[in-house]
Amino acid sequence: MRIAIAADHAGFALKERLRQKLAQSGHQLTDHGTTSEEAVDYPDYAAAVARDVAKGMSERGLLICGSGAGMVIAANKIPGVRAALATNPEEVRLTRAHNDANVLSVGSRFMSEEEAVKLIDIFLNTGFDGGRHARRVEKIHQLELEGC
């Protein structure tokens, strides 16, 4: 799978470990940074990943910051992106199955690498259920078109 990935300074160390594991699993990664633990502004990195996903250059996006929340807020400003915060396995499964989330954000301060790997695996391997959920996702798309 083609995956865009990025982190801010708080998520840098976890991003590097996740990036290696994902590459070893055969995924094609586009790393949008950051490249160190030096302080950066997370919206810049969230936007880069979100734009890749929205343009179809990547099938999914992964974001890592301290809480995960800031990255989700920023990514969801890009039309075509449905970013979700990873907190537990069932929630991540439902964001894919019901919301067709295409970007997942992980809070490096609130989970271990092992937990992050488990949630990302669920995110990458869960399909969209469609049906009544497709109607709802289309309504989200219409909100984007309206500029709400």
148 is catalytic: no
Residue 111: give its domain's CATH number. 3.40.1400.10
Q: How many domains is the chain partitioned into structurally?
A: 1
Nearest to 107 by CA among 138, 146, 65, 58: 65
Q: What is the 3-state secondary structure (H, E, C) of the chain?
A: CEEEEEECHHHHHHHHHHHHHHHHCCCEEEECCCCCCCCCCHHHHHHHHHHHHHCCCCCEEEEEECCCHHHHHHHCCCCCCCEEECCCHHHHHHHHHCCCCCEEEEECCCCCHHHHHHHHHHHHHCCCCCCHHHHHHHHHHHHHHHCC
Give yes or no: 65 in active site.
yes
Q: Please say if the pLDDT value at position 148 is more than 90.
A: no
56 — phi, psi (to 5°)?
Answer: 85, 5
> Active site residue: 98, 133, 141, 148, which one?
98
* Catalytic hit among 9, 27, 32, 65: 65
pLDDT at 58: 98
Instruction: Indicate the pTM of the whole model.
Output: 0.96
Task: State which residues form the domain around 21.
Answer: 2-146
pLDDT tier at 147 (50, 70, 90 boundaries)?
A: confident
pLDDT in tens, 21-33: 999 999 999 999 9
